[in-house]
Amino acid sequence: MRIVALQGSPRAESNTQAVLDMVLDGARQAGAQTETVRLIELEDFRGCMECFGCQGVADKPDCQVEDDMLGVLGKLMKADVIVWATPVFCWSPAWPLKMAMDRFFCMFKFQEDGQIRSLVEGRRMAAVVTAGGKETDGADLVQEICRRLVEFSRCKWEGTFVAAEVKDLESIRKDAALAGRARAFGKKLAS
Ligand SMILES: Cc1cc2nc3c(=O)[nH]c(=O)nc-3n(C[C@H](O)[C@H](O)[C@H](O)COP(=O)(O)O)c2cc1C
């Protein structure tokens, strides 16, 4: 069982990373292998250029933007579970995760018969979201964006772990109830 998480916070001391660590800790305790890609740490990371070059090949991502995201797409192809992790930025995923979602578009192949083939069909996907506000202040919309992406990918939606009204790293690390909920979510992902 291999879980690959894409973490989209732009800051080094990240609330989202702290919560994701708790989730993945639970998954590892249940026997999963986990890997986190901190998108902001990729040296060369660019957005989708809408060239549609990926559509020339049916059985591999073949994104034409030659940067470090190509290696990440390769990791996602081999994952059993993909986790999309992000803070809420203005009712949306933070920009590094949004960029990764756009680059994920090369996993979809738009066929001549009108059908869309997904290279990751049947995988499992989940989201981890942190928010300064209440769940209804944007985390709900981010969950819906992730859920739609999962549906379009023809993957199995494992749900979202939401940490709403979070303050700082210190208070997150002290929150035993949050850690317990997060580890239980991770355990579910590993099952
Ligand atoms: C530019 C910006 C926009 C934000 N927008 C929202 C928002 O719409 N709703 C919300 O609940 N929190 C919002 N927040 C708060 C962050 O989601 C919250 O602090 C998050 O835990 C930060 O995670 P990080 O440390 O992993 O980056 C925003 C923060 C920033 C910096």
At residue 100, the 3 state secondary structure works out as helix
Ligand 1 atom at shortest distance from the alpha carbon of 134: 11
Residue 64, CA atoms < 13 Å, CB-side half-sphere: 9
Q: How confident is the model at residue 55 (pLDDT cuts 50, 70, 90)?
A: very high
Q: How confident is the model at residue 183 (pLDDT cuts 50, 70, 90)?
A: very high
Residue 67: phi and psi, rounded to 5, are: -140, -165
Is the separation of the CB atoms in 63 and 32 below 8 Å?
no
Select from 6, 89, 130, 145 the residue to mutate for testing ligand 1; criterion: most ligand atoms less than 8 Å from CB: 89
Q: How much distance in Å is there from the Cα of 88 to the middle of ligand 1? A: 5
* Paired strand residues for 85: 7, 128
For residue 26, CA distances in Å to 101, 162, 172 come to: 25, 15, 16
Ligand 1 atom at shortest distance from the alpha carbon of 166: 21
Top CATH class of 2-190 equals alpha beta
Q: How confident is the model at residue 76 (pLDDT cuts 50, 70, 90)?
A: very high
Mean pLDDT of 64-85: 98
28-39 per-position pLDDT tens digit:
999 999 999 999
Q: How much distance in Å is there from the Cα of 139 to the middle of ligand 1? A: 9
**Dihedral (Cα; 41, 44, 45, 47), 10-degree rounding:** 160
Q: How much distance in Å is there from the Cα of 10 to the middle of ligand 1? A: 11
pTM over 0.85: yes
Residue 175: phi and psi, rounded to 5, are: -85, 95
Name the pairing type of β-strands 2-7 and 81-89: parallel
Spans of all domains in the chain: 2-190
* Paired strand residues for 3: 34, 81
